[in-house]
Amino acid sequence: MNQDPVIVPVGDRALLVEFGDSIDPDINKRVHDLTASIDTADVPGVVELIPTYRSLLISYDPMTTTPDALQTAVSDYLSPDPQIVARSPRIVHIPTLYGGEHGPDIDFVSQNSGLSNDVIVDIHSSVDYLVYGMGFSPGFPYLGGLDDRLITPRLKSPRTHVAAGSVAIAETQTGVYPVASPGGWRLIGRTPIRLFDPDVNPPAVIHAGDRVRFVPMSGPDEYERILNQVRDGSFSVTIEGGP
Tell me the C-alpha to C-alpha distance, in Å, between residue 60 and each of 19, 29, 40, 48, 209.
Answer: 20, 23, 16, 7, 23
pLDDT in tens, 203-212: 889 988 889 9
Q: What is the pLDDT of residue 146?
A: 93
Give the global pTM. 0.79
* 3-class DSSP assignment, residue 220: helix
State the span(s) of the chain assigned CATH 2.40.100.10: 91-240
Q: How far apart are CA 31 and CA 52, in angstroms?
A: 7
Q: How confident is the model at residue 86 (pLDDT cuts 50, 70, 90)?
A: low
Q: How far apart are CA 193 and CA 230, in angstroms?
A: 6
With a cut of 70, say whether residue 221 has pLDDT above it: yes
Q: What is the pLDDT of residue 82?
A: 59
Tell me the C-alpha to C-alpha distance, in Å, between residue 168 and each of 81, 106, 235.
Answer: 37, 9, 23
Q: What is the pLDDT of residue 28?
A: 85
Place domain 91-240 in its CATH homologous superfamily: Cyclophilin-like (2.40.100.10)
Fold for 6-75, please state it. Answer: Gyrase A; domain 2 (3.30.1360)
pLDDT in tens, 133-170: 887 788 899 898 899 999 999 999 999 999 999 999 99
